[in-house]
């Protein structure tokens, strides 16, 4: 069977869980029906509140794992909980969405049970009768098809957005929901988490912008930022940035686009000297029209771009400003 580990916070389902179920359904096709059925497990105090949403999927069943010690997420508690569910269900594959929470405990879980973990998977195929998993390598410059080594279960995390939640097959009737029997040794939980918080009130809400010009490390120095600023102005666009620009303090954090910044869906997104790492793409690939300007024709940003110019920012940006100011 295939075990999908869903994620919830305070009784709210993380949508990436549905993507993981959609991916597991595809895996079932690649690995053959004998790899089924799919069981979804969701852990934590809010688990029972999201079980209904999960049971709507075309899966064999939903398990809720709730116990003392699972009220707030900690890696130590989650390793204990999911390990027990794996022991009880003996899956062939354990599937996770590649969220920050999964990144935090899935590798520790894999090491604890001494099994293979393949992360950030974007596709599933069949190679020589067995399932193989495609994942980006070298900052998205290459894709690798990889096979897990060793004994099952194989742990797999699916990249956010790689499978679509709305492509998830729904069941004819709701799947059965039951409780997994887990007990947590509270004394073995070493992390003490505090409540999540946001740094500062977001003064700029880029999610409402119609046009965005985003600048990346191709701009080279802080002194060059006005070049991007001028282009944004000429487009009538908000200025945004990739993470390294904000890390360096060249633009404020609140203008960062991506998994740790804002998610935007403007009509027009112009990526200026941005390579197109997945953590950036998840924040902007919903844009209607994407323009990429990059000196490297092989940069991954061109994989999502509608229009591309292979060229130097310092030549292209001023030429665009001149053209836009003409009319």
Partner 1 sequence: MKIAVCIKQVPTREWQPRLNADKTWIREQDVSYEMNEPDAYALEESLRLREKHGGEVVVCSAGPTRVQQVIREALARGADRAIHVEDAALGAADAYAAAAALAPAMAEEQFDLILTGLQSDDQGHAQFGPVLATRLNVPHSTIIMEVLVDGQSLRVKRELEGGWFQHIAMPLPALLTIQSGINQLRYATLKGIMAAKKKEIKKVATPGAVASRQKVLALYAPTKSKQTTMIGGSPAEAAKELVKRLREEARVL
Ligand X SMILES: Cc1cc2nc3c(=O)[nH]c(=O)nc-3n(C[C@H](O)[C@H](O)[C@H](O)COP(=O)(O)OP(=O)(O)OC[C@H]3O[C@@H](n4cnc5c(N)ncnc54)[C@H](O)[C@@H]3O)c2cc1C
Question: Would you tell me which residues interact with ligand X (CB under 6 A)?
Answer: 216-218, 242-244, 256-261, 273-275, 277, 279-280, 283, 294-296, 299, 312-314
Which one of partner 1, ligand X, none is in contact with 216 (Cβ closer than 5 to 8 A by kind)? ligand X
Contact 157, 137 (CB under 8 A): no
Rounded Cα distance, 233 and 239, in Å? 8
CA distances from 2 to 24, 86, 92, 122, 175 (A): 7, 10, 6, 17, 15
Q: Which does 299 bind (CB under 5 to 8 A by kind): partner 1, ligand X, none?
A: ligand X
Q: Which of these segments, 32-40, 63-71, 166-174, 307-315, binds partner 1 (CB under 8 A)?
A: 307-315
**In this complex, which beta carbon is closest to partner 1, that of residue 137 or of residue 176?**
137
Nearest residue (CB) to ligand X, 49 versus 217: 217
Spell out the long-range contacts of 191-199 with Cβ–Cβ below 8 A and sequence spacing 24 or more.
Answer: 191/74, 191/75, 191/76, 192/74, 193/72, 193/73, 193/74, 199/253
Query: At closest approach, how far in Å is the CB of 185 from ligand X?
Result: 30
Residue 262 interacting entry, from ligand X, partner 1, none, C-beta within 5 to 8 Å by type: partner 1
Interface with partner 1, residue 48, by CB under 8 A: no
306 binds, among ligand X, partner 1, none (CB under 5 to 8 A by kind): partner 1
From ligand X, partner 1, none, which one binds at residue 140 (CB under 5 to 8 Å depending on kind)?
Answer: partner 1
Q: By CB under 8 A, tell whether 119 contacts partner 1.
A: yes
Output 176 or 289, the one with its CB closest to partner 1. 289
- Binding to partner 1, residues 78-117 (CB under 8 A): 99-100, 103-108, 110-112, 115-117
Q: Which of 305, 275, 284 is nearest to 238 (CA)?
A: 284
CA neighbours within 13 Å on the CB side: how many for 273?
Answer: 23
CA nearest 212: which of 250, 292, 266?
Answer: 266
Phi-psi region of 10 (alpha: psi -120 to 50; beta: other; left: phi over 0): left
- Selected from 53, 260, 265, 286, the binder of partner 1 by CB under 8 A is 260
* 222 lies in the site for partner 1, by CB under 8 A: no
């Amino acid at each position: 069977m295939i075990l999908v580990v869903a994620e919830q916070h305070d009784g709210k389902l993380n949508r990436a869980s549905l993507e993981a179920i959609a991916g597991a359904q595809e895996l079932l096709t690649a690995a053959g029906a004998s790899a089924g059925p799919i069981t979804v497990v969701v852990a934590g105090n809010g688990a029972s509140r999201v079980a209904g949403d999960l049971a709507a999927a075309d899966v064999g069943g939903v398990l809720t794992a709730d116990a003392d010690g699972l009220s707030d997420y900690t890696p130590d508690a989650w390793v204990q909980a999911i390990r027990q569910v794996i022991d009880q269900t003996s899956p062939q594959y354990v599937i996770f969405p590649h969220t920050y929470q999964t990144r935090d405990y899935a590798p520790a879980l894999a090491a604890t049970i001494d099994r293979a973990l393949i992360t950030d998977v974007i596709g599933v195929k069949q190679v020589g009768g067995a399932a193989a998993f495609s994942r980006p390598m070298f900052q998205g410059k290459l894709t690798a098809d990889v096979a897990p080594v060793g004994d099952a279960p194989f742990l797999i995390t699916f990249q956010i957005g790689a499978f679509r939640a709305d492509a998830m097959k729904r069941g004819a009737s709701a799947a059965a929901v039951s409780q997994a029997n887990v007990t947590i040794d509270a004394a073995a939980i070493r992390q003490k988490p505090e409540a999540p918080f946001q740094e500062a009130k977001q003064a700029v809400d880029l999610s409402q912008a119609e046009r965005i010009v985003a600048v990346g490390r191709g701009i080279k120095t802080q002194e060059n930022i006005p070049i991007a600023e001028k282009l944004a102005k000429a487009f009538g666009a908000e200025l945004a940035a990739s993470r390294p620009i904000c890390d360096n303090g060249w633009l404020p954090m609140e203008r960062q686009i991506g998994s740790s910044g804002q998610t935007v869906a403007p009509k027009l997104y112009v990526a200026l000297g941005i390579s197109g790492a997945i953590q950036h793409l998840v924040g902007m690939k919903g844009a209607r029209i994407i323009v990429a300007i990059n000196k490297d024709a092989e940069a991954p940003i061109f994989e999502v771009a509608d229009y591309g110019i292979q060229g130097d920012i310092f030549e292209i940006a001023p030429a665009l400003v001149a053209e836009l100011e003409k009319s």
